[in-house]
Amino acid sequence: MGYGVTFITGDGTGPELSEAVQKVLDATGVEFDWDFQTAGVDVYEEEGNPLPDRVLDSVRERGLALKAPITTPVGSGFRSINVALRKELDLYACLRPCKAYEGVRTRFPETDIVIVRENHEDLYAGIEFEYGTEETEKLRKFVADTEGTQMREDIGVTIKAISVHGTERIVREGFKYAQAYGRHKVTLAHKANIMKFSDGLFLEVGRRVAEEEFPNIEFEDRIIDNLCNQLVSRPEEYDVIVLPNLYGDIVSDLGAGLIGGLGMAPGANIGDDYAVFEAVHGSAPKYKGQNKVNPLGLLLSGFMLLHHIEETEAANRLESAIAEIIREGESVTYDLKPSRDDPSAVGTSEMADAIIQKMGKVAA
Ligand code: NAD
């Protein structure tokens, strides 16, 4: 029996990416017992729910999932499935390694950072007060009575809440990742100078966890704007970076930009009981069915899965093959070519085949 893993095949370019990635992971020699599950727009039309219970049950049973991207239609009735999955399974940590492989188009070839983003709290918690409603009026009054601030009448409000519990566990996750993967430094990002009771708490709790629980790993903090400035000038000075939800979201895309684009960026959503691995990018619907997009975001997420289940040898062999294919620059998709309309670009499936072939050679 192989490893039981739920494979959520996604929509848009998700199914073609899934097919390509499944064949590469199967070719690593590690035995997987895939449970393929569909979710997303088409499923919503057929089953009335974009994230049916069968999908969650499958992940709960197996503990592990690989997930292709899923579209969140703008203005539709349903909220992001991606956010729902993270909430339902309490996947509180989002890990996004950003490593520049030799051969990608980047001004920062030394980049090798890992973004650790808190997944549940902050401005993303969905506590919102709509402009013009009775609730917002009550909130205005409450703020005026308790805090003494008169807010304008024409406001919409989103609440930013950061907890001790949420901060402790995300900072711990950052340090545990550093320990497990031989990383040397953890940087915590914040805007504590302005938001003293949310980001300030994040910083204070982070400092305590660092000092009390991980005294052997270097720890520092950076104000978020300063961090962004430094990441686009000398990213090689950073290692593991722990951030609250919103900054983590933004810095993840910045990180993808540092390493050659969204097509290159993998990710993992981790909780105490479950782990779901997925690319940073979305379903890229304009390329659906064209066998065109880069499979590496999802494949490198599979590489993270291999490490997670401690199939280290297979993970390393896969990474070496991927690195070699990128370095050669021949069997790569359009986004990894010097120009985007380079006629020598190969398709999703062909790039996967080239990686499989290369793995055979790396293994020999
Ligand atoms: P997107 O990431 O799908 O695509 C933006 C652009 O990035 C594409 O047009 C393409 O140029 C490039 N790109 C993305 N993936 C690529 C790949 N594998 N190879 C090469 N180039 C690639 O972002 P979007 O268009 O804003 O979002 C489309 C849909 O995906 C939306 O409904 C959004 O909500 C959803 N989404 C899902 C996830 C997820 O499933 N985790 C994440 C982000 C967005």
Q: Which two tokens stand for residue 222?
A: 């950076």
- CA-72 nearest atom, ligand 1: 32
Catalytic residue status for 57:
no
Give the residue among 158, 149, 219, 147 at the shortest CA–CA distance from 190: 219
Residue 209 CA to ligand 1 center (angstroms) comes to 35
- Provide the pLDDT for residue 47: 87
Catalytic residue status for 287:
no
- CB of 294 within 6 A of ligand 1: the answer is yes
Burial status of residue 330 (CB atoms within 10 A of its CB: 0-12, 13-18, 19 or more): exposed
Catalytic residue status for 124:
yes
Give the residue among 110, 105, 99, 70 at the shortest CA–CA distance from 307: 99
- Provide the pLDDT for residue 364: 44
- CA-68 nearest atom, ligand 1: 40
- CB of 282 within 6 A of ligand 1: the answer is yes
Q: Which residues contact 329 (CB under 8 A, 6 or more apart)?
A: 103, 336, 337
- CB of 345 within 6 A of ligand 1: the answer is no
* Choice among 92, 101, 124, 334 that is catalytic: 124
- CA-279 nearest atom, ligand 1: 41
- CB of 332 within 6 A of ligand 1: the answer is no
- Provide the pLDDT for residue 34: 98
Residue 257 CA to ligand 1 center (angstroms) comes to 14
Catalytic residue status for 177:
no
- CB of 263 within 6 A of ligand 1: the answer is yes
- Provide the pLDDT for residue 40: 86
Q: pLDDT 10s digit of each residue in the chain, 364 long?
A: 899 999 999 999 999 999 999 999 999 999 999 999 999 888 888 888 888 999 999 999 999 999 999 988 776 566 778 888 999 999 999 999 999 999 998 999 999 999 999 999 999 888 999 999 999 999 999 999 999 999 999 999 999 999 999 999 999 999 999 999 999 999 999 999 999 999 999 999 999 999 999 999 999 999 999 999 999 999 999 999 999 999 999 999 999 999 999 999 999 999 999 999 999 999 999 999 999 999 999 999 999 999 999 999 999 999 999 999 999 999 999 999 988 889 999 999 999 999 999 998 765 4
- CB of 335 within 6 A of ligand 1: the answer is yes
- Provide the pLDDT for residue 278: 96
